Amino acid sequence: MLSARSVVYCELARCLFPGEGYEQILDHLLSRDDDIPAWRTDHIPCGSSLCRARVKIGSRTMEAVFHRVAGPIAEPQSCPAAFWHQLRLEAFDGTTFEVADTEENDAAFERPAGSCGPGGYPQVRVVALVECATHAVLDAVIGGRGQGETTLALDLAGAAGPGTLVLADRNMLGVQLWTAFRDRGAELLWRLKKTVATRPEAVLEDGSWLARVRIDKHTAAALRRAGQRVPGAITVRVIEYTLPGSAEVYRLATSLLDPATAPAAELAALYHERWESEGVFAEIKIVQRGPQAVLRSARPDGVRQQLWAHLTVHHLIRDLLCHAAASVNSRLDQRRISFRRAFRLIRRSITSHATPRLLDRMLAHAISRLVGRANPNRRPRSYPRAVKRRAMTYPTKKPGPSELRRCRDFAPAIRRRPP
């Protein structure tokens, strides 16, 4: 009775009802017996049967489901904010999820280390590549806490390609990772540390300059021992700028070397789109999973299965919001639509006992109301450095007046490198 298709439906429903058990989730799905005809009300599978069925299908099934639905959803006509000079804006970053305290999870994912000893729960690390304007997850990699974000991000290079501009934070720059994305044809705009690319080779007319970055000897030796190719030095264009009211110097590295087609001021203002990845993690970790919740799977394969299900549900909700915004107003930014409200709307549509045709009409009417409540005067939330921690902890709390003024009056002052 518990086919693979039925178990996949249950795993996706667990992401919509994170605080409920297997039997309650089965009750919700039984109201939609047209989707799962194998279940009958006179013989309902118990929770232990569903748990064993999850082990049988494994995490690869949910991973295949995610990659089947994942992909870019923005179009230039309906979502122009997703593009800059015909380049699709994408960003990647990492986060951690706490998992159940079991020996298997501890051995597979490791615990965080602290001054008072190891943490209370093992943590799994997820690095995701997202579409900035739509918050759609394009691809993701799951690993243990001991694995670095730059190591896991190597597997994301295949999801980027020609016609994309990938943004990243300053801890991501590395010759190996940069080369992996560039070999796929993607353009890059990453933040730099203060000690990287400090010697200019050529000063450009807009104040930026070209520099060479080489791989360090320890990483090169490790690659040779592993039998891998050691990448050569890369040429980057360095941009330095400051923000109004702040003396901190921000440094960016980009693969767009021509200042005529990629002005430094536009790239400096564009870098703040990289913080949209923080909003994606906040939607998954706080709205879907629940704040400060622990993934309940006791085995590593079950943890991966649950994470792939969360990523699938998040992408489907974002796809629904994109179509809803395009159907009402072709120029409406879907980031102005509440993700939490859409999440609750989908939960109500699943628990309703109406017919599928009536549900479609109810959903279309609710979406129009949802979009109609979007404030046209509200600016899409940006995530500068000052509000990163607040955005992750309290995603529904609005930034203060000074932070809003800082985002609204953003005018970078490009620092010119002396010849």
Which residues fall within 8 angstroms of residue 368, CB to CB, at 6 or more apart?
324, 328
Q: Is residue 145 part of a domain?
A: yes
Grouping H, G, I as helix, E, B as strand and the rest as coil, residue 99 is strand
Q: Is residue 244 part of a domain?
A: yes
Angle between helices 22-30 and 47-69 (to 10 degrees): 70
Cα 256 to Cα 262: distance, rounded to the nearest angstrom: 6
| CA–centroid distance for 56 within its chain | 28
- Give me the long-range contacts of 44-47 (CB less than 8 A, separation at least 24): 45/1, 45/2, 46/22, 47/21, 47/22, 47/23
Residues 91 and 40 in one domain: no
- Domain C-terminal end among 36, 57, 78: 57
Question: Which residues sit opposite 168 in a β-bridge?
Answer: 190
Q: Are 151 and 171 a contacting pair, CB within 8 Å?
A: no
pLDDT score, position 384: 45
- What pairing do the DSSP bridges indicate for beta strands 164-168 and 113-114? unpaired
Cα 187 to Cα 83: distance, rounded to the nearest angstrom: 13
- Structural domain of 52: 1-57
DSSP 272: G
pLDDT band at residue 196 under the 50/70/90 scheme: confident
Residues 36 and 126 in one domain: no
- Interior angle at CA 405, CA 401 and CA 407, nearest 5: 120
Element (H, E) at 374: none
Q: Is residue 48 part of a domain?
A: yes
Q: Is residue 155 part of a domain?
A: yes
Cα 182 to Cα 201: distance, rounded to the nearest angstrom: 21
Cα 111 to Cα 138: distance, rounded to the nearest angstrom: 28
Higher pLDDT, 114 or 55: 55
Q: Is residue 127 part of a domain?
A: yes
Grouping H, G, I as helix, E, B as strand and the rest as coil, residue 343 is helix
* Span 117-126, average pLDDT: 88
Cα 288 to Cα 21: distance, rounded to the nearest angstrom: 15
Residues 32 and 96 in one domain: no
Q: Is residue 347 part of a domain?
A: no
Place of tokens 């904010």: 81
Residues 31 and 128 in one domain: no
* Range of 26-30, 263-267, 403-407, 409-413 with top mean pLDDT: 263-267
Could you give the number of structural domains in the chain?
2
Residues 7 and 95 in one domain: no
Residues 1 and 81 in one domain: no
Q: Is residue 355 part of a domain?
A: no
* Span 288-307, average pLDDT: 90
Residues 142 and 276 in one domain: yes
List the CATH number of the domain containing 130. 3.90.350
Using CB atoms within 10 Å of the CB of residue 25, give its burial: 0 to 12 exposed, 13 to 18 middle, 19+ buried.
Answer: buried
Residues 214 and 160 in one domain: yes
* Span 382-398, average pLDDT: 41
Residues 48 and 106 in one domain: no
Question: Which residues sit opposite 124 in a β-bridge?
Answer: 97, 144
Residues 35 and 120 in one domain: no
Residues 149 and 294 in one domain: yes
Residues 53 and 79 in one domain: no
Q: Is residue 363 part of a domain?
A: no
pLDDT tens sequence across 206-262: 889 999 988 888 888 888 888 888 888 889 999 999 988 888 889 999 999 999 999
- Domain C-terminal end among 29, 57, 85: 57
Question: Which residues sit opposite 211 in a β-bridge?
Answer: 236
Element (H, E) at 152: helix 149-152
Cα 242 to Cα 385: distance, rounded to the nearest angstrom: 13
